[in-house]
Chain A
Amino acid sequence: MALDNSDIKRIAHLARIEISDAEADKTLTKLAGILTLIEQMQAVDTTGITPMSHSQDLVQRLRDDVVTATNQREAFQANASAVEGGLYLVPKVIE
């Protein structure tokens, strides 16, 4: 799988990370090496193997639909860069 500069820029856009042309060039070389490493996987026959996400056989725990957390809006919003009247401020998105 040969990547080029425009792929890097597309991936960076998907990841919402601004990237300059020079950075994309640099990233391309490093990523190509890592993807070659990853390609080793393709030689393995995994027919009939189930994918594993957790080592133990777990079922999703359920709980009653009741309020368990207390309101900590002020404490949480203290870390935001722009808030007003209990709301988070972002640039205007609807004209």
Chain B
Amino acid sequence: MINQSLKNLSQLLATKAVSSVEMTQTFLDRIRQYNPDINAYITVDEEKSLAQAKAADASIAAGTATVLTGIPLAQKDIFCAKDWKTTCGSKMLENFIAPYDAHVITQFNHVGAVNLGKTNMDEFAMGSSNETSYFGGVKNPWDLERVPGGSSGGSAAAVAARLCAAATGTDTGGSIRQPASLCGFTGLKPTYGLVSRYGMIAFASSLDQAGPMAKSAEDCALMMNVMAGFDVRDSTSLNHPKEDYTALLNQPSSSQPLAGLKIGLPKEYFAEGLDGDVAKVIETAIAEYKKLGAEMVDISLPNANLSIPVYYVLAPAEASSNLSRYDGVRYGHRAAEYDDLMDMYMKSRAEGFGEEVKRRILIGTYVLSAGYYDAYYLKAQKIRHLIAEDFKAAFKQCDIIMGPTVPSTAFKTGEKTGDPIAMYLQDIYTIATNLAGLPGMSVPAGFSNDLPVGLQIIGNYFDEARMLSVAHAYQQVTDWHTAMPKGIA
């Protein structure tokens, strides 16, 4: 059951071969078994999950079920879920019980999906290894000595170890795609504005976007059908017509289902810095796409090398502003002892935030401080425009862009913690799409030294349905996405 697609799980529930309570219990038992080693979940509440499963079973019996009714999902601990502890991986929110549901949670509740628990993550989503979590690092199920990637590392490990049917994540600079690459599954960061950020704890508001993390493109499409949609409570939510993201998946069978598709290969994504074995895996995947009928086009994203500098101005600047709300007054950690109000702020924040979060708040405060705004923030917003223009020009030559998701495979725990810049380079191929607001995916494409490698697929604005169909076509002729970590049964 644990390896079944969402469609098959839904079928099992619809035919009453399995109840949602039984399915939920299966995953809860697996969490009990594996979570002490993997640390994918911060909070599990069996009673709450089983109550939702029971309600789902009633809805299935009454004939009011839809495709995700009764399906057990993991939710990143960045989404507020009413009456659930919602920590964002931080000591600051260690005891925060969300008083309301995030839009994404409301959407899943509305269709009767089951919340299995809240998954571990880098503190306030700042990190690429899950090592900045106050609740401890997450282990990569493919090699427990290695990191799962981040910031959605808990959701990633939960999907890879089959501790959920599928999960949610958020992606500000690569936090869905990089862990999807490192843990060997399919993840999608949608067009900025497609999924509401309401109730999703803010990191860098102009970049943050929620998306699905699942075993296949088809599963991601089913998740997107629930997650995407206009929400008046998010001022950057786009009023885009509701789509069926599975619509393009099942093309009439043909040996060349992608005939006519032009795939752009940006030379900057195959340059120095890319691991040789990873490059080979990506080249093999591209060869497979040629067999499916796609045509390759050489393209260039000349400002791609500026993505990281621009990101490390914009994201910390927005974070320093967003995280100013943690003052120890209305919610969050308050120091036990202090002299006056200023001392209370200073101590509460010093104690509540971890090292990486403080570092980014300080960078953000510095680049926004008097006299520096034009040189840093404004300059970065201008280069951001250049980066978006690069993609615009590229999409005149091709329909889809492909390349590696990450320059290398999963690294060992502790390997990069002393060197923030080496850690930041994990996201060198993913950040540009966040800056441009474009959708991006990572799809399992093979292995290097028994560790998963992800192929990145970047689409034009609102082209998620096509991206999913392009990934789906590949998953019909390859089986990388069905591989399971050894030691996980």
**Nearest-Cβ distance from residue A6 to partner chain B, whole angstroms:** 13
**Nearest-Cβ distance from residue A1 to partner chain B, whole angstroms:** 9
Partner of B310, one of A30, A35, A41, A76: A41
Q: How many residues of A contact B (CB 8 A)?
A: 50
* Contact (Cβ within 8 A) A79 B96: yes
| Cα distance A46–B236 in the bound complex, in angstroms | 26
**Nearest-Cβ distance from residue A12 to partner chain B, whole angstroms:** 6
| Cα distance A63–B386 in the bound complex, in angstroms | 33
Nearest A residue (CB) for B236: A54
**Nearest-Cβ distance from residue A47 to partner chain B, whole angstroms:** 9
- Report whether over half of chain B's contact residues are helix, strand or loop; otherwise say mixed: helix
Determine if A53 is an interface residue (Cβ-Cβ < 8 Å).
yes
A61 in contact with B235 given A27-B362, A44-B306, A51-B385 (CB within 8 Å): yes
A30 in contact with B359 given A37-B308, A38-B309, A90-B341 (CB within 8 Å): yes
* Contact (Cβ within 8 A) A49 B306: no
Determine if A2 is an interface residue (Cβ-Cβ < 8 Å).
no
Nearest A residue (CB) for B372: A1
Identify which of residues 348-368 in chain B touch chain A, using a CB-to-CB cut-off of 8 Å.
349-350, 353, 358-359, 361-363, 365-367
Per-residue 0/1 for B400-426: is the Cβ within 8 Å of any A Cβ (1 yes, 0 no)? Answer: 000000000000000000001100100
* Contact (Cβ within 8 A) B193 A56: yes
**Nearest-Cβ distance from residue A11 to partner chain B, whole angstroms:** 5
Residue numbers of B with Cβ under 8 A of A are: 95-97, 99-100, 191-193, 206, 232, 235-236, 238, 303, 305-306, 308-310, 312-313, 320, 324, 327-332, 334, 338-347, 349-350, 353, 358-359, 361-363, 365-367, 369, 375-376, 378-386, 388, 420-421, 424, 436-438, 461
* 16 residue pairs A–B, Cβ–Cβ below 8 Å: A14-B365, A15-B365, A16-B324, A17-B362, A35-B366, A41-B309, A42-B375, A49-B385, A52-B385, A55-B436, A58-B238, A76-B331, A79-B99, A79-B330, A80-B330, A91-B338
8 tightest CB-CB pairs across the interface, nearest first? A55-B437, A51-B381, A52-B385, A79-B331, A18-B350, A18-B346, A46-B382, A81-B334
